[in-house]
């Protein structure tokens, strides 16, 4: 029994050919070739043959890894496919997808835009190289994957923000907003490009993508400075959704002012004085993110209006509460809470 070794034309690894058995086999990527074909095409120890069977095998292995959530193998085999088939929408998409999905918290701000930026070339390949009969299925698949990764990025960013010690959490608001915004943009961008490149043929999928973007957007809009501009952007996407889904129920995005920190306003004399602005930040960025904090807010706004109405103008009232509030405000200053101009978020 003679054994011949040769270089795999697919991955470059060593293949072995057992003349008494079935043919050439690469133990690394699974490429195969029959004995008869390999013997005819053997040139100086290197096998030259039509790689369509090997490419088919790679797709099979990559999809099997994808379906079983074996991210490492899926990335490896799609990367190998990309070398052999650079016009494959599937390889172009999933190489970026599996690179992005394994990013760390501190890398979301890079991974999310990278994921978003790959959408247009992938859609171009789909439009150019796939049958219309297959396009709806493929675009549904891409939507589901993008929806998964955008939600994963957002939840990771929010969980990380919530885990930061309260004394320094205010310093990480902008990082959280950047990551959350990049997560929503993945879905907004996909819906926009799909609607434009395919001339509204897949409006239903575009509408689902925009709806997913809005759901994320609503979770962090209260942290943003330009609440009005972001509300208008969400309303714009709601209008786009209704074009394809007239029954779409618009979520409430009103960012309301809660009506005043009643006790603090009565003590300090103004809702917009530095001390009250600091307390409002504490309410929005700390109390509002826990169930017990929200319970306190609810009780406070149930009781304090009547308390201020009956006793707010009394000198005894201010004398009793001002030292307590001063102490709270000073401690908040030490924790990094600012007293600059502030617009309330919708904490309810």
Q: List the chain pLDDT tens, one digit each, 348 residues.
A: 344 556 666 666 666 654 445 566 766 666 676 655 555 545 444 444 445 678 999 999 999 999 999 999 999 999 999 999 999 999 999 999 999 999 999 999 999 999 999 999 999 999 999 998 999 999 999 999 999 999 999 999 999 988 887 667 778 888 999 999 999 999 999 999 999 999 999 999 999 999 999 999 998 887 887 888 999 999 999 999 999 999 999 988 755 444 457 788 888 888 788 898 888 888 887 887 777 777 787 777 777 777 777 777 788 888 888 888 999 889 888 888 888 887 776 544
- Tokens 């917009």 -> residue: 272
47: which strand partners?
Answer: 42
H-assigned helices in 85-131? 89-101, 108-117, 119-129
| Whole-number Å distance between alpha carbons of 280 and 297 | 11
What span, in angstroms and rounded, lies between the C-alpha atoms of 136 and 205?
Answer: 9
In Å, how far from its chain's centre is CA 55? Answer: 32
Give me 106's structure tokens. 């501190």
Six token digits for residue 99: 């690179």
- Find all residues with CB under 8 Å of 299, minimum gap 6, and list them: none
Q: Strand, coil or helix: what is 231? A: helix
- Which of 39-56 are b and which e, b meaning 16 or more Cβ less than 10 Å from the residue's Cβ? eeebeeeebebebeebbe
d(CA 257, CA 259): 6
Q: State if pTM tops 0.85.
A: no
CA atoms of 290 and 347, how far apart (whole Å): 11
Angle between helices 108-117 and 173-197 (to 10 degrees): 10
d(CA 192, CA 155): 23
């Amino acid at each position: 029994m003679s054994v011949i070794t040769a270089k795999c034309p697919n991955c470059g690894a060593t293949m072995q050919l057992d003349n008494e058995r079935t043919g050439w086999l690469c133990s690394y990527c699974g490429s195969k070739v029959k004995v008869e074909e390999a013997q005819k095409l053997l040139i100086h120890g290197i096998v030259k043959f039509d790689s369509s069977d090997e490419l088919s095998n790679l797709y099979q292995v990559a999809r099997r890894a994808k379906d079983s959530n074996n991210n490492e193998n899926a990335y490896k085999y799609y990367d190998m496919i990309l070398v052999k088939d650079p016009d494959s929408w599937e390889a172009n998409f999933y190489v970026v997808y599996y690179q992005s999905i394994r990013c760390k918290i501190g890398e979301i701000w890079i991974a999310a835009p990278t994921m978003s930026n790959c959408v247009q070339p992938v859609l171009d390949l789909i439009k150019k190289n796939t049958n219309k009969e297959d396009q709806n299925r493929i675009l549904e698949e891409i939507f589901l994957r993008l929806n998964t990764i955008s939600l994963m990025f957002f939840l990771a960013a929010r969980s990380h923000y919530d885990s930061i010690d309260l004394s320094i959490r205010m310093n990480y608001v902008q990082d959280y907003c950047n990551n959350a915004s990049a997560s929503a943009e993945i879905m907004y961008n996909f819906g926009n490009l799909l609607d434009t490149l395919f001339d509204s043929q897949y409006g239903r999928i575009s509408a689902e993508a925009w709806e997913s973007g809005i759901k994320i957007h609503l979770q962090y809009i209260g942290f943003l400075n330009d609440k009005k501009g972001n509300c208008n952007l969400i309303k714009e996407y709601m209008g786009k959704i209704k074009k394809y889904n007239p029954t779409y129920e618009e979520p409430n995005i009103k960012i309301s002012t809660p009506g005043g920190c009643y006790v603090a306003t009565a003590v300090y004399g103004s809702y917009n004085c530095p001390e009250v602005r600091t307390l409002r930040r504490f309410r929005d960025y700390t109390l509002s993110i826990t169930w017990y904090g929200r319970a306190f807010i609810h009780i406070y706004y149930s009781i304090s209006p009547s308390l201020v109405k009956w006793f707010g103008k009394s000198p005894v009232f201010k004398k009793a509460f001002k030292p307590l509030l001063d102490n709270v405000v000073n401690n908040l200053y030490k924790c990094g809470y600012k007293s600059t101009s502030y617009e309330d978020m919708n904490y309810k």
